[in-house]
Structure 1
């Protein structure tokens, strides 16, 4: 059994917040009756939105090695290339968070809206690990300590959870994913990013996946991901 708004998000009808609005506006019925916000449903229940039956699709979670130059969006008239050119045509498939056009590395994609919500919400503590190279080379330990203490950006303070100097740059761990956050943090401490590669999201690692290719998560990886956000 799960809450109706979670069911609708997992089914790809809408985000959880928009699903709640659909329920409150009376567009959703369960077993022929107008649904209530917070109502729970199971496999035996008939769920309809605006008269159309809704069912949970098979959950799909993909790992893509996003190359530089690709935009993390489906439709963008200003983008030369999007990540969807590299992916199979799966209904409802969408990125979990973003990597900016100039960044590379691990991008997770799924057709499960509730999983996306939990993976991107700070409450669930899903960390992201980045290998960065800077225009000034390897980060000194003192700069790492500054990043661990936190720096002030235009949209508020930002703090690394871990920082380790690495040849030409550093290995950084963050607990959130604000727009271009890693680049802005390093610029704030005087080490502009030359190259950025995301190598891990939660328990999922990029590994040796070649640039521009994708793979489906193994059952063990998917189970670990779901366990981390309480969706086992």
Structure 2
């Protein structure tokens, strides 16, 4: 390994999903190189020991992407003392594994987990426009076309405007496609137009579909499907 920037090293180790998050760890003094607190701009060379919060970290030899069918009632945070169950109890213990974005506790469906911080950043940042598709049921049933057009045009939320790339009717509710994933965004958008959500199921992220995956079950994304996911994120597939 040639010398690489510390931020990149942390992303490859799966402990930071973006450059900004890596920089925050460094600024907080939580990262050391060979026992010395690291500074922004530091580089890691072969043989260096990098630690975060006193624990050694290193790039994982193999990049892994898992697709999980998150059941309702399960949280996506690793540490939550109020959670009865987290998604990390449903998947293998892989160093650096983290969720690609989140689904709130009451929502269900497709959740990706990976140890590739670059991939996470690309799939979650709205700049890259990777679409996420949600099947929604509402308290008022099927959402009428004029409301769907409002969602495509955009609605104002407390943290700024939000719009669906595509909105189409479905029995009991609708199907929405979004390019971003702000906290409880789908629920807040539909509440804003008077159609509160009673059930939310994410069915697709980029080219990856939930398909027939049962609640609580997971599978590894491999082969052409993995290549398609990395292409959607504007990345080349790392060596296996």
Change (3 A) 1:173 1:47: farther
1:154 maps to 158
- Range with greater deviation from structure 2 (125-134 or 52-61): 52-61
Structural mapping, 1:201-212, within 5 Å: 201-212=205-216
Secondary structure at 1:146's aligned position in 2? helix
1:49 maps to 50
Task: Identify the match of residue 10 of structure 1 among 3, 9, 12.
Answer: 12
1:32-57 superposed Cα distances (whole Å, 9 cap, x missing partner): xx99839798xxx5554259673433
Task: Identify the match of residue 100 of structure 1 among 94, 97, 104.
Answer: 104
1:80-138 superposed Cα distances (whole Å, 9 cap, x missing partner): 12112211111211111100011010000011122111211111111110000111111
CA contact (8 A) 1:7 1:56 kept: no
CA contact (8 A) 1:47 1:54 kept: no
- Equivalent residues, number: 225
Q: Superposition RMSD on alpha carbons, in Å?
A: 2.6
Q: How big is the shift at 1:179? A: 0.6
- Distance (whole Å) between structure 2 residues aligned to residue 183 and residue 67 of structure 1: 17
CA contact (8 A) 1:59 1:110 kept: yes
2:183 maps to 179
- Distance (whole Å) between structure 2 residues aligned to residue 17 and residue 80 of structure 1: 31
Change (3 A) 1:47 1:91: same
Tell me if 1:214 matches 2:215. Answer: no
Change (3 A) 1:14 1:134: closer
Structural mapping, 1:111-122, within 5 Å: 111-122=115-126
2:141 maps to 137
Normalised to the residue count of structure 1, the TM-score between the two structures is 0.86
Change (3 A) 1:200 1:38: farther
CA contact (8 A) 2:9 2:58 kept: no
Change (3 A) 1:38 1:115: farther
- Identify unmatched segments of 5+ residues in structure 1: none
Q: How big is the shift at 1:20? A: 4.0
CA contact (8 A) 1:204 1:221 kept: yes
Secondary structure at 1:208's aligned position in 2? coil
Q: How big is the shift at 1:231? A: 2.2
1:124 maps to 128
CA contact (8 A) 1:10 1:115 kept: no
- Distance (whole Å) between structure 1 residues aligned to residue 188 and residue 4 of structure 2: 38
Normalised to the residue count of structure 2, the TM-score between the two structures is 0.84
- Range with greater deviation from structure 2 (215-224 or 178-187): 215-224
Secondary structure at 1:173's aligned position in 2? strand
2:76 maps to 72
